[in-house]
Amino acid sequence: MSVRKRAKAVAKTIFLASGALRVAHRLAARGAVILRYHSVHDRPELYASTIGCDSVHSTSIFARQMELISRRFSPVSMDDVLQFLKDEKSLPPRAIVVSFDDGYKDNAEMAAPILNRLGIPGAFYVLVDSVDRAKAPWYCRLRHMFFTSRSRKWRDPATGAVRELTDSPARDEAFLKLCDVCAKSTALMREELMRDAEISLDPDPFPAESNLMMNWEDVRGLRKSGHIVGSHTMTHPNVAHISLDDARRELGDSKHKLETELGEPVLHFSYPHPTLYPQWNQTTVRVTEELGYSAAVTTTSGAVRANAHPLTLPRTYVPREESEFLWNTERTFLFRPLSSAHT
């Protein structure tokens, strides 16, 4: 860490210890902060080429963060937030929701036991097709292809340009370029793109694909433990960049499958954000409402206030380092989402 970064970290720690943010919270309007996680593992580095290190928190860090939440904040559920938005229930001061996207198996095996021990309710948004077929999400498979590729070149299907895969930054850039194409493609077209990429890239075999995602028994176990289970679409496109019919299928089919497996209504949804902006618009909001979702979360940062639209709720990225985690969480209580509408 540089001297400048170390000085900033020390300053943040001192400011947090002063209690100034807690005073500011008492003056701010009541609301909640929704934290956004994906995966929890003992050794995140083992998942660098599949889930991606940026999406994995170590088990020890996650456990420490949950302990801090249980002591310094007020853990609540997404149902509590929904009732708050309907003016049916008040929220406690410094309300926090812990949420997970995608449906990785570690959510049930590593994260849920920590939440259960501390009495923290979680919200788990499941990528239904990957759970149902025990198949890794397309972006995990694609990341693995680029980062284990034996080929030194790749042709971009969107532009026809040939890209060199000489180092990690070049591979990451190429991976993100193909993600842009896949995120706005139909599921069938996306699989064709994936097959073409696999042939041209000649990657290592994908490791233990069937063990990456939860199964339906895992999902039902989360509900039995009192956690929320919601939809994250069928196949994880950016629903703001696909056709209306495809968006209806992604949101509707996933909701129906979850309700069949759980035997109860599914009211919660999380917008996928694999790449591209925006991740939602007024059309997708209308579709979620028509299909019977009551709440939907985004990746827009900010606190949930009483006047927030329940189908475009903000969530917050979770830093790993403890002082940064506390700083980011504490200050988020004071800010509204950066954007409240997409056309």
| Residue from 33, 32, 223, 52 nearest 124 by CA | 223
For residue 80, being part of any structural domain is answered with: yes
221 and 265 in one domain?
yes
Residue 253 has pLDDT above 60, yes or no: yes
Assign residue 290 the CATH number of its domain: 3.20.20.370
Beta-strand relationship, 74-75 and 95-102: parallel
Asked, for residue 1, whether it belongs to a domain, the answer is no
The total of structural domains in the chain comes to: 2
281 Cβ contact partners less than 8 Å away, ≥ 6 residues apart: 240, 342, 343
Expressed as residue numbers, the domain containing 57 is: 30-135+213-332
User: Are 131 and 143 part of one and the same domain?
Assistant: no
The predicted pLDDT at position 29 comes to: 74
Same domain, 100 and 171: no
Do 131 and 256 lie in a common domain?
yes
Q: What are phi and psi of 154, to 5 degrees?
A: -150, 135
Q: Percent of the chain beyond pLDDT 90?
A: 87
Do the domain assignments include residue 125? yes
pLDDT score recorded for residue 28: 57
pLDDT at 176: 96
Please tell me the distance from the alpha carbon of residue 309 to that of residue 342, in angstroms, as a whole number.
12
Q: Are residues 142 and 131 in the same domain?
A: no
Whether residue 79 is found in the same domain as residue 221: yes
Give the pLDDT mean for 268-289. 97
Among residues 201, 230, 256, the one where a domain terminates is 201
pLDDT at 343: 42
Residues 37 and 164 in one domain: no
Check whether residue 107 and residue 77 sit in a common domain.
yes
In a domain, 82, yes or no: yes
Q: Which residue has the tokens 């997404």?
A: 78
User: Does pLDDT of 92 surpass 70?
Assistant: yes
Same domain, 92 and 180: no
Question: Is residue 10 situated within a structural domain?
Answer: no
| 297 and 270 Cβ atoms separated by less than 8 Å | yes
Task: Between 67 and 10, name the one with better pLDDT.
Answer: 67
pLDDT at 311: 98
Do 261 and 317 fall into the same domain?
A: yes
